[in-house]
Structure 1
Amino acid sequence: MDRHVKIVSWNINSVRFRIEIVERFLRDVQPDILCLQETKVVDQDFPRAAFRALGYDWIIVHGQRMHHGVAIVSRVPLEADDRLDWQANQEARHLGVRLPGGVRLENVYVPAGGDVPDREANPKFGQKLDFLGRMTDWSAGLAGPTILTGDFNIAPLPEDVWSHKQLLDVVSHTPVEVETLAALQAAGDWVDLGRHFHPAPARLHTWWSYRAKDWAASDRGRRLDHMWATRDVAAQATGHTVFEDCRNWLKPSDHIPIMTEFAF
């Protein structure tokens, strides 16, 4: 590709409802590629015109009415897209493309897993672990330079949550989820670029609940959104940014955008 490339991931929690802040972000930051999760729109209703008006001419979508959904929009060419069914029920939770130069970019929306961290009492939690298990199998057979990004719905490190002790029994930070995500990371020898550039114990949150009256004052954040890369691609990464101020914007998502820059 021979250029500096900025890749962003953002769980937008309905792309049509929040299109104004997406447009604002794209104008302000000018990323080359934007990976969205939880778009909540069928493919034919995706707001393509808004993106094309800002120069994002490559638009690949994998949508679903009211729930889930992922998309990748880009100012650089995208090809060889695929949609893997890691949920094993046709939910729209993955979208992968190939960038110029051959790097794969995989955008994933891992299930939240419900409220009870028990596979028997809560089938959604079991589905989440199984989803990650299928990702691990895929990762073990991976060949070629790859970036894996999206809403993983797991905050793996004690420093990735506002209170490790208080969240040990809360879905997204339970030991079994952390162990499962670690197995996925080991299977592909992935580099966690967020923590590569901001090592623990640095504060690094990407999600704050809507339930808080003042999210910034309570600051009960978690790092649920991630950018990973195979080691060959990670060696070309030059920086990683979290855009915390976006949580203050009009009609915000509960997630903020994250961005990694690469010198491909």
Structure 2
Amino acid sequence: MSKTIKIASWNVNSVRARLGIVERLLREEKPDVLCLQETKVTDDIFPADLFRKQGYVHRVLRGQKMHHGVAILSRVELRDSGSHDWQDNGEARHVGVRLPCGLRLENVYVPAGGDIPDRTVNPKFGQKLDFIERMTRWSDGLREPTLIVGDFNVAPLECDVWSHKALLDVVSHTPIEVDALSRLQQAHGWVDIGRRFVPAPERNFTWWSYRSPDHTKNDRGRRLDHMWVSPGASERVLAHRVLEPCRSWERPSDHVPLICEIAI
């Protein structure tokens, strides 16, 4: 019996459009649990058969037609599923479960926030900040060991983007978003697993725009995807990887998967 559980997280940018590379990820990495964001499909037509054939017989879905959507697929039993409406408008952006090892697993897709970093002229930016604030209040009251994963749509550190100076006014790296995410992290003492295993200022991107035909040439990446764990459970995290080669797979997502291994 394995003494660890392997958990993958991936903003797949439409699960039906990426079925080939999702199957490849499952075949090559064999995670015990896969958390997907931006599935862009309602629950009734989610491609569950592909996952079932690969041994992922447990699933918790929260889908939405054409937009957003989150899912947790698993080889191990999932219990106590639930969802928070941190967007406060019914959008499908969060789902959570309890794993057999006792750890709570939360899968979240934070809104991108539009193009203008000013809530007075861009309501989407305000919605993003409010979403993070609701997560902060939830984190402040959290009393159980938890792993939260997903697309946070914020690159918090200067070294989490290809150019701190160039992106200071670009949504995902503005000071107001970074401050909001910092308050969220402090509310529970969350441990940033990505930077625990790849300390700053080492390069550690998870997203590259589709606007660049070859993302490797200019490497204008950002670290938008994260895995955070409760401080009391941080020593149980034994490994963490960013699967950057997936960005070059056929018909890729603009995000790449993250994987962590946790002691049971």
Higher mean C-alpha deviation, range 129-138 or range 93-102: 93-102
Q: CA deviation at 1:231?
A: 1.2
Write out the 4+ residue segments of structure 1 that deviate beyond 3 Å after TM superposition.
none
Deviation at 1:101, TM superposition (A): 2.9
The normalised TM-score by structure 1 is 0.99
Structure 2 CA distance for aligned equivalents of residues 67 and 160 of structure 1: 26
SS in 1 for 2:217: helix
Paired residue for 2:92? 92
For residues 1-264 of structure 1, the aligned pairs below 5 Å read: 3-264=3-264
Work out the CA distance in 2 between the residues paired with 1:31 and 1:102. 18
SS in structure 2 at match of 1:247: helix
- 1:213 is displaced (CA, Å) by 1.8
Counterpart of 1:252, as a letter, is: P
**TM-score scaled by length of structure 2:** 0.99
Structure 1 gaps, min length 5: none
Q: Gaps spanning 5+ residues in structure 2: where?
A: none
CA separation in 1, counterparts of 2:30 and 2:139? Answer: 30
Alpha-carbon distance between aligned partners in 1 of 2:64 and 2:23, rounded to the nearest angstrom: 22
One-letter amino acid of the counterpart of residue 51, structure 1: F
Q: Per the alignment, in what secondary structure is the counterpart of residue 148 of structure 1?
A: strand
- RMSD of the TM alignment (CA)? 0.9
Stretch deviating more after TM superposition (91-100 or 227-236): 227-236
Between Structure 1 and Structure 2, how many residues are aligned?
Answer: 264
Distance in 1 separating the partners of 2:116 and 2:226 = 23
Residue 27 of structure 2 aligns to a residue whose secondary structure is helix
CA distance in structure 2 between the aligned counterparts of 1:231 and 1:41, rounded to whole angstroms: 34
